[in-house]
């Protein structure tokens, strides 16, 4: 009997072993047909799904899968999923697929499949652990420009697999290297980006409205990266100011005794500057990612939300499709689809809630930063006054004070940009709470 772990995305890692090609169900009169370089067309609205056991043996499927793959329901039922494997697919992709599923992580991937008559069709598949050892894959028609990039990448990796006799794992590492060159630190980041691109490209072709939760998370995540950039710039400015103050301290040390006020001012300024630089570190919202299945909260939210919407659509479509053959009932499969959709929904909501909490923390820290900078500015004014009194005796101090004034103008400007990004994030958060779109 399958155990149901508390976290529906958690599976028993050790028990999962994909079915080898040779262990495939004895073909029910199936002959392996040579591949032909002809695409099997299907509509942008078509969504497929299949449910497999822990080894990838098909247990349930929908009508679209039967129609496009060209296999009869009885041929799919009980067959290993590699029944539709296309020889253009590198092993690396399936290594990543199984590695993710074993890790309890949903996996999104471009897959070129083979129909019964040897034609090909591309899908973007999202395979998810169901929590009881089974897996479910929902698939859509990929139409974004990323498909061309990935198709070329697969060609290159397949060539390397053959010419260098790479193991699936080595090949997956090679592919990860190339994915990183494309700008994605981890596979989870790549799949979140790819799913969002495909989801949006499909929606535009179908002419449907953008989901408000997705548009809001898009605004939030764009402004969060804006914010990170501006905070990094502000930190650099403060590093430069530390040098300026070091110069002022050297300058003050050279002054005759009895002229030490400027020295005290420089010391105070320096102390305040240090506090601000430490505070800035708490504003650094850069996350670090260890494994290939890690992504930022925003990226995970995109993935969860898109999958949740797709599963909802899949449920609706499935309702209108013909009856299932085989060992399962339409009610049972509808239940499985709905349950998975609810899991994604709950996870995406908790990711949004977490996002709201961290935005509030950032807002408070930016407010505090503003107050600290105001304090720093007061010390700077004291410095300017003292420089005025020392004009005749301390040549060169004017120049340092003028540079300090420039520095304060720059950080004021930078603070405005930071506040702008925080405001935009807060607006996105408000809209998410109210379920509104831009």
Ligand X SMILES: Cc1cc2nc3c(=O)[nH]c(=O)nc-3n(C[C@H](O)[C@H](O)[C@H](O)COP(=O)(O)O)c2cc1C
Q: Is 113 in the site for ligand X (CB under 6 A)?
A: yes
Q: Is 283 in the site for ligand X (CB under 6 A)?
A: no
Q: Is 133 in the site for ligand X (CB under 6 A)?
A: no
Minimum CB separation of residue 154 from ligand X in Å reads 12
Tell me which of 81, 174, 193, 431 binds ligand X, using CB under 6 A. Answer: 81
Q: Is 62 in the site for ligand X (CB under 6 A)?
A: no
Between 53 and 200, name the residue whose CB sits nearer to ligand X.
53
Tell me which of 49, 61, 94, 199 binds ligand X, using CB under 6 A. Answer: 94
Minimum CB separation of residue 20 from ligand X in Å reads 6
Q: Is 84 in the site for ligand X (CB under 6 A)?
A: yes
Tell me which of 49, 61, 120, 135 binds ligand X, using CB under 6 A. Answer: 135
Q: Name the strand (E) or helix (H) holding 61.
A: strand 58-61
Cα distance between residue 237 and residue 234, in whole Å: 5
Tell me which of 66, 111, 231, 304 binds ligand X, using CB under 6 A. Answer: 111
Minimum CB separation of residue 434 from ligand X in Å reads 37
Minimum CB separation of residue 213 from ligand X in Å reads 26
Minimum CB separation of residue 332 from ligand X in Å reads 17
Residue closest to ligand X (Cβ): 56
Tell me which of 79, 92, 96, 125 binds ligand X, using CB under 6 A. Answer: 125
Between 86 and 380, name the residue whose CB sits nearer to ligand X.
86
**CB under 6 A: which stretch of 77-85, 214-222, 334-342, 408-416 binds ligand X?**
77-85
Cα distance between residue 167 and residue 324, in whole Å: 39
The β-bridge partners of 129 are: 135
**CB under 6 A: which stretch of 84-92, 181-189, 315-323, 412-420 binds ligand X?**
84-92
- Is residue 432 within 8 A of residue 216, CB to CB? The reply is yes
Between 53 and 405, name the residue whose CB sits nearer to ligand X.
53
**CB under 6 A: which stretch of 89-97, 239-247, 270-278, 430-438 binds ligand X?**
89-97
Spatial neighbors of 81 by CB under 8 A, at least 6 apart, are: 19, 50, 52, 56, 57, 58
Tokens of 336: 């499985």
Q: Is 52 in the site for ligand X (CB under 6 A)?
A: yes
Q: Is 293 in the site for ligand X (CB under 6 A)?
A: no
C-alpha triplet 132, 136, 140: angle, nearest 5°:
165
DSSP string, 278-333: HHHHHH-------STT---HHHHHHHHHHHHHHHHHHHHHHHHS----TT--HHHH
Q: How far is CA 327 from CA 314, 323, 394, in A?
A: 20, 12, 93
Q: How far is CA 211 from CA 202, 295, 302, 309, 416, in A?
A: 13, 22, 11, 9, 30
Minimum CB separation of residue 119 from ligand X in Å reads 14
Q: Is 131 in the site for ligand X (CB under 6 A)?
A: no
Spatial neighbors of 375 by CB under 8 A, at least 6 apart, are: 272
- Is residue 157 within 8 A of residue 181, CB to CB? The reply is no
Between 137 and 307, name the residue whose CB sits nearer to ligand X.
137
Q: Taking CB under 6 A as the criterion, which residues in 244-273 touch ligand X?
A: none
**CB under 6 A: which stretch of 75-83, 195-203, 352-360, 389-397 binds ligand X?**
75-83
Number of residues that bind ligand X (CB under 6 A): 19
DSSP alpha helix (H) spans, 182-260? 187-206, 212-253
Question: Could you tell me which of 228, 251, 242, 230 has the C-alpha nearest to residue 298?
Answer: 228
**CB under 6 A: which stretch of 26-34, 82-90, 251-259, 331-339 binds ligand X?**
82-90
Q: Is 85 in the site for ligand X (CB under 6 A)?
A: yes
Query: How many Cβ atoms are within 10 Å of 253's Cβ, its own excluded?
Result: 11
Between 56 and 355, name the residue whose CB sits nearer to ligand X.
56
Query: How many Cβ atoms are within 10 Å of 35's Cβ, its own excluded?
Result: 15
Question: Could you tell me which of 197, 179, 42 has the C-alpha nearest to residue 113?
Answer: 42
Query: How many Cβ atoms are within 10 Å of 303's Cβ, its own excluded?
Result: 27
Between 130 and 366, name the residue whose CB sits nearer to ligand X.
130
**Contacts to ligand X by CB under 6 A:** 18, 21, 50, 52, 56, 80-82, 84-85, 89, 94, 97, 111, 113, 125, 127, 135, 137
């Amino acid at each position: 009997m399958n155990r149901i772990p508390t976290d529906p995305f958690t599976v028993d890692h050790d028990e999962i072993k994909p079915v080898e090609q040779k262990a495939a169900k004895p073909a029910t009169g199936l002959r392996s047909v040579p591949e032909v370089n002809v695409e099997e067309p299907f509509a942008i609205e078509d969504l497929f799904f299949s449910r497999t056991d822990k080894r990838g043996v098909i247990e349930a499927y929908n009508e679209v899968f039967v129609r496009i793959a060209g296999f009869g329901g009885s041929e799919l039922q009980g067959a290993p999923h590699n029944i539709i494997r296309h020889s253009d697919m590198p092993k690396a992709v399936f290594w990543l697929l199984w590695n993710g599923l074993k890790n309890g992580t949903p996996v999104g991937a471009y897959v070129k499949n083979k129909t019964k008559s040897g034609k090909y069709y591309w899908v973007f598949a999202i395979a998810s652990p169901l929590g009881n050892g089974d897996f479910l894959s929902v698939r859509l028609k990929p139409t974004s420009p990323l498909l061309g990039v990935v198709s070329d990448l697969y060609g290159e990796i397949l060539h390397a697999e053959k010419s260098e006799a790479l193991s699936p794992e080595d090949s997956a590492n090679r592919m990860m290297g190339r994915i990183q060159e494309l700008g994605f630190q981890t596979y989870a980041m790549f799949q979140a980006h790819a799913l969002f691109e495909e989801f949006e490209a499909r929606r535009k072709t179908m002419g449907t409205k953008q989901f408000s939760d997705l548009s809001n998370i898009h605004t939030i995540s764009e402004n969060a990266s804006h914010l990170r950039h501006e905070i990094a710039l502000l930190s650099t400015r403060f590093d430069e100011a530390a040098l300026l103050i070091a110069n002022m301290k050297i300058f003050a040390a050279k002054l005759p005794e009895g002229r030490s006020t400027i020295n005290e001012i420089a010391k105070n300024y320096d102390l305040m500057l240090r506090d601000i630089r430490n505070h800035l570190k708490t504003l650094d919202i850069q996350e670090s990612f260890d494994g290939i299945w890690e992504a930022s909260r925003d990226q995970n939210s995109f993935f969860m939300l898109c999958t949740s919407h797709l599963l909802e659509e899949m449920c609706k479509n499935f309702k209108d499709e013909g009856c299932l053959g085989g060992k399962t009932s339409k009610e049972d499969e509808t239940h499985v689809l709905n349950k998975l959709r609810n899991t994604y929904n709950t996870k995406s909501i908790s990711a949004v809630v977490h996002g709201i909490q961290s935005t509030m923390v950032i807002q408070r820290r930016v407010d505090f930063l503003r107050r600290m900078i105001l304090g720093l500015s007061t010390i700077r004014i004291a410095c300017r006054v003292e420089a005025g009194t020392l004009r005749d005796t301390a040549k060169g101090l004017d120049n340092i004070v003028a540079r300090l004034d420039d520095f304060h103008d720059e950080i004021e400007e930078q603070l405005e940009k930071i506040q702008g990004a925080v405001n935009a994030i807060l607006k996105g958060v408000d809209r998410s709470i109210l379920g509104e779109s831009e």
